[in-house]
Amino acid sequence: MAINGATELYGIMGNPVAHSLSPAMHNGAFGALGLNKVYLPFAVQDVAQAMTGFRALGIKGVSVTIPHKQAVIPYLDTIDPVAEKIGAVNTLVINNTAIHGENTDWLGANRALSEKISLKGASVLLLGAGGSARAIGFGLLEAGASLTIASRTPEKGQGLARLLDCPWLPLAEAGTVTADALVNATSMGMGSQQDLLPIARETLANFGVVMDIVYAPLATRLLQEAEKAGCQTIDGLAMLLYQGAAQFELWTGQQAPVEVMRQSLLTSLGYNP
């Protein structure tokens, strides 16, 4: 696609942001549908100035990642009710300088889980109490699931459990729970923690479905052990993909080319499907 005077600009704001897979995913989607749009990484330190800049430059849409998902909220003109409940925004839709905030993280998680189970009436054990866990938790409740939270930090976990009006227990006791699905929203399984399991291996048979939001590595130790235990598994690429597909649809009004976006992500991670 040739970039010209009519090219519409989108991007992702964060700090750091150079590692993001979103440019590959969204530019792959724009190219597949022949849309005159381009998506770039924006390393942002000053949120207020960035939001002014987006308006001034006519940028059409922005993904928001760490550490700015809460910081953008005071600068929005409107916000989606679920994003307001979550207290975090990961998507900006900009129309004639008016900035609207959405959160598609929960949509991504729900869509990934919905491929394996019906969420309405399902029981879910959610591991973690950070920003991702918060979005996933609100989304699960929105879909009619029942929730239990387990986390390493009691204060954070109990605070989120109060907010979501659901039970909490220490991560060390997570294996005492039986549920339709287990979702790992901790960092255990990535980087220096690749060999760590967030829950005892012998308790994985308590869950029909196990989802990990960690996507590097794609086959985390948790997912490998869950498969051995006979669970259905969902890797971390699914949530990333589907939250991105929801963003694409908000920005373009067109159905996202999900398979193209999936292949773009896999290629960026070094997989050649």
CA distances from 42 to 38, 103, 209 (A): 13, 19, 36
d(CA 92, CA 78): 10
The full set of domain ranges for the chain reads 8-103+238-268, 107-234
Who's near 136: CB < 8 A, 6+ residues apart?
105, 106, 109, 126, 183, 185, 213
Over residues 183-221, the pLDDT tens digits come to 999 999 888 888 899 999 999 999 999 999 999 899 999
Q: Using the Cα atoms of residue 247, residue 134, residue 179 and residue 213 in order, give the sign of their dihedral.
A: positive
Residue 141, pLDDT > 80, answer: yes
Given 69, 116, 120, 156, the catalytic residue: 69
Over residues 13-49, the pLDDT tens digits come to 999 999 999 999 999 999 999 999 999 999 999 999 9
Residue 273, pLDDT > 70, answer: no
Q: Among the CATH numbers 3.90.1150.10, 3.20.20.450, 3.40.109.10, 3.40.50.10860, which is that of 8-103+238-268? A: 3.40.50.10860
Q: Which CATH superfamily is domain 107-234 in?
A: NAD(P)-binding Rossmann-like Domain (3.40.50.720)
Over residues 234-250, the pLDDT tens digits come to 999 999 999 999 999 99
Over residues 148-161, the pLDDT tens digits come to 999 999 999 999 99
This prediction's pTM:
0.93
Verify whether residue 69 is a known catalytic residue.
Answer: yes
Over residues 99-127, the pLDDT tens digits come to 999 999 999 999 999 999 999 999 999 99
DSSP tally for the chain: helices H, then strands E:
9, 12
The per-residue pLDDT for 191 is 81
Identify which of 215, 221, 238, 258 has the alpha carbon closest to the alpha carbon of residue 113: 238
